[in-house]
Chains A and B, each alone.
Chain A
Amino acid sequence: MPDTEMRLSDAETGAPMVVIGLDERAGLPDLQMRLRELGFMEGEPVCVLRRGQPGGEPLAVRIGASTFALRRIEAACVRVASRQVK
């Protein structure tokens, strides 16, 4: 049974997630392409490691073996679902 989808920006800090897909966003051309180049691909494990303060921004996101800093608006383009930890 597939878990409920959510945006990466709404994912709980430290919760293991998996990338379901990427959305286009007006005002941020090429963002989707760029995220893909950095490894945000369908099926990749992803996790929000920590959030900056105040306002929970920016996000430090683990994808593959790399860590990237994203603003919320960027993370909102990534659709994710909860991942079962084996």
Chain B
Amino acid sequence: MTAIPIDSRRLTPPTLALVGNPNCGKTALFNLLTGSHQKVANYAGVTVERKEGWLRTPAGKRLAVLDLPGTYSLAPNSPDEQVTCDVLAGRLPGERRPDLVLAVVDATQLARQLRLVLGLRRLGLPLVVVLNMTDLARARGVDVDVEALSRALGVPVVSTVAVRGGGADALFRLLDAALPPVALAASAGSVVDDYRQVKDILTTLGLDRVPAHAFTDRADRVLLHPLAGPMLLFALLFLIFQAVFAWAEAPMGWIESATALLGDFVGSVLPDGLLRSLLTDGLIAGLGGVLVFLPQIVILFFFILLLEESGYLPRAAFLLDRLMGGVGLSGRAFIPLLSSFACAIPGIMATRTIQNPRDRWVTIMIAPLMTCSARLPVYALLIGAFIPARRVAGGLELQGLVLFALYLAGIVSAVLVAWLLKRLGSKDRQHTLLMELPDYHWPSLRNLAIGLWQRVLIFLQRVGGIILALTVLLWFMASFPGAPADFAGAPIEYSFAGRLGHFLLPLFEPIGFNWQIAVALVPGMAAREVAVSALGTVYALSATADDTAQALVPLIVAGWSLPTALSLLAWYVFAPQCLSTLATVRRETGGWSAPLLMAGYLFALAYAASFVTYRIALACCT
């Protein structure tokens, strides 16, 4: 037997790495090059997560494309910049050194960005400079002579307008040609040498005077105004939460009707028995109950992506810096915390952009207090069932108002926890900010669409994966063992799930939860929104055999008191039970102390908040 020689180049296509300053249009170029051929790890943090895609050039060459975290220099200052530097040096375990580096350069910010190019040139890897946003530069009177710049830098330069499709033809032609030879390693430059060299190049090319972006300056006069700025930010956040409820109403209705139709259909076709129960009580009642919240999640992400793309997010961090500094956080913590509204996991991973280890630790600890999108189904279910849909003062939706209040409760608790941690910690720390305020630009529909599609996929994968598995498991636990004929209550009370619920009841009874809620909280540890599908399954099985397809809302309206519903809402503001978040915290902090402390304090806060809410509501209702 002879070993068959394996040509590793055929197994793994040449890898092309995108490197550039933050906000240089790198992600837009990545979307343009790879289109839908992207592989984003489960939780897509825009700047920190590893994003890989592939492309086929017009001549048929297949290339892997790696989108590296943005960096200002090759001397790393934060964990995510470290990733970029390690990959480029071939030092990151499990990561192949790229075969070609594409240095993405924003044509309106040449001076700063070309200094990074000089650093990249010294790596000894083949290098191509991609000049991005040349249309924006031209509008500001900066016309870059691509050939002259290429001669001055000694590497190929191509110009693209990444944000719009079709701008990458020149780049594709270049990739089809043989990969350019390794650039000559220049002298080991210092920051000062690089600065002088870039200044010389730009002076020669007549590019050393770039006017500031007039629109950005005008817009910032209002958006960063000491008074108008924070008011606009608050109004914007408020509008988002109103939209999440108002816009999603119609599509949610469609999904509900479709689920009900499917349930009726399956119920009428299949004979009464275990299979019918699994499909209607387990899968359709369970998964349909989660799927219905897809429209709201899409709307929330639409706004987050819009703010991110347009360049407004760092402004929000600017406006909130004083507030965050007051409780011992850096303004930089704002972006990870905002991401946590989608999911705490990318948020916690995005804390890698915070240089100060203690700032980072505090940010991680409070990230789960930002209401993640997995809690939205729970809120939406309870608000939809218990809060009347009517307009209050000034035509505001009462339901949207309650949702806003719940989000606000999370933020206020985060501020208090951070303040407490600051009081307990050392006081001599210096807080740094040093954050770019990039020029505003119109978000591209294409990038918004790709970003939204990735979020939808992740949500559907969760529904099809862990939520499906847990729903089936819960259906099993709630159906077996079957109750004997002479059992007085509903059969589910005899099952494993029913017994578990009754076992947990003494713990949760003081805060107003019934045994059905206690059962639903257990699988909700793996994914918070499973609590909704679990309630769907538990209640579907509790109902009498005839009306299994009944919707969850009328059942809980009939079964729960208002204090119970409010108590569960308060519980979910803190929602201590999310195993994936705790696992991420363990990985990011490298130990068990942070995740254990986090689980402990969240559980205590959740229990206390629910207890107080339940008792007050009970006193008011009677």
Contact = CB atoms under 8 A, between A and B. Distances in A.
A binds B: yes
A37 B111 CA distance: 11
Given A27-B430, A38-B72, A57 B220 contact: no
Contact of B212 (A27, A58, A65): A65
A33 B321 contact: no
Contacts of A34: 72, 77, 434
B334 to A, nearest CB: 11
A60 B435 CA distance: 9
B191 interface: yes
Interface residues of A, number: 34
A62 B319 contact: no
Nearest to A57: B322
A67 B213 CA distance: 10
B314 interface: yes
B109 interface: yes
Contacts of B195: 36, 39, 41
B111 A69 contact: no
A7 interface: no
Nearest to A67: B437
Contacts of B431: 71, 73
Interface in B426-451: 428-438
A63 B436 CA distance: 11
B459 interface: no
Contact of A60 (B72, B73, B220): B220
B192 A41 contact: yes
A76 to B, nearest CB: 11
Contact of A53 (B217, B322, B325, B429): B322
Interface in B170-214: 191-192, 195, 210-212
Given A65-B108, A71-B325, A37 B430 contact: no
B160 to A, nearest CB: 20
B218 to A, nearest CB: 12
A33 B317 contact: no
11 contacts: A34-B77, A36-B191, A51-B226, A52-B226, A52-B319, A62-B212, A67-B212, A67-B437, A69-B321, A70-B434, A71-B434
When A and B form their complex, which 4 residue pairs have the shortest distance between CB atoms, in order from nearest? Answer: A53-B226, A67-B437, A65-B210, A37-B73
Given A65-B210, A69-B434, 13 more contacts: A27-B429, A33-B191, A39-B111, A39-B112, A53-B226, A60-B220, A64-B111, A65-B108, A65-B109, A66-B436, A67-B216, A68-B434, A69-B314
